[in-house]
Chain A
């Protein structure tokens, strides 16, 4: 699954640590999500969407090639 978390975070000038703090997850978790190494759970994805004030499908983009 692709996502726009890094793009949206950087547009707001937030650090990974700042976003992690807002979402109550570690900076490493934010990094793993941004680099596509970890797909967040549905509740965390909704929290991320709420944090950026965007619909969830505008942030997380389903990749047809993903197994």
Chain B
């Protein structure tokens, strides 16, 4: 494993583990807290480890060699394109009252779906150069 990949694993995996723990604590605490300011802090707490994971990804992309960087950036771009097209289409369906969804539920799924799409497009792009 190249040093940049090793560093990525050392930064990304603890960040995601922290995310799971913070998310569970946040969900549990929100059931018992009424004060708005505290609820804001608790609700946003899981975003902190996610930001650390995002930093690890950015450092990984910047540290990768030129072909890897091309593959990763292409995957990021295609994932963003497909995700925004999907969100736009879903928005049209919601506006037309064909589909009913909670805005919060939709927004929370944007990042996981983006990561999933990124993984799929990165794998496809990688195969092209294999």
Contacts and interface: CB of A to CB of B under 8 A. Distances in A.
Interface in A5-23: none
Contacts, number: 28
B129 A26 contact: no
Nearest to A44: B66
B65 A38 contact: no
A32 B128 CA distance: 9
Interface residues of A, number: 12
A57 interface: no
Contacts of A40: 66
Contacts of B65: 24-26, 29
B96 interface: no
B102 interface: no
Contacts of B130: 28, 31-32
A37 interface: yes
Contacts of A38: 67, 129
Interface of B: 2, 65-68, 126, 128-130
Given A29-B65, A29-B68, 19 more contacts: A25-B65, A25-B67, A26-B65, A26-B67, A26-B68, A28-B67, A28-B68, A28-B126, A29-B66, A31-B130, A32-B67, A32-B129, A37-B128, A37-B129, A38-B67, A38-B129, A40-B66, A41-B66, A44-B66
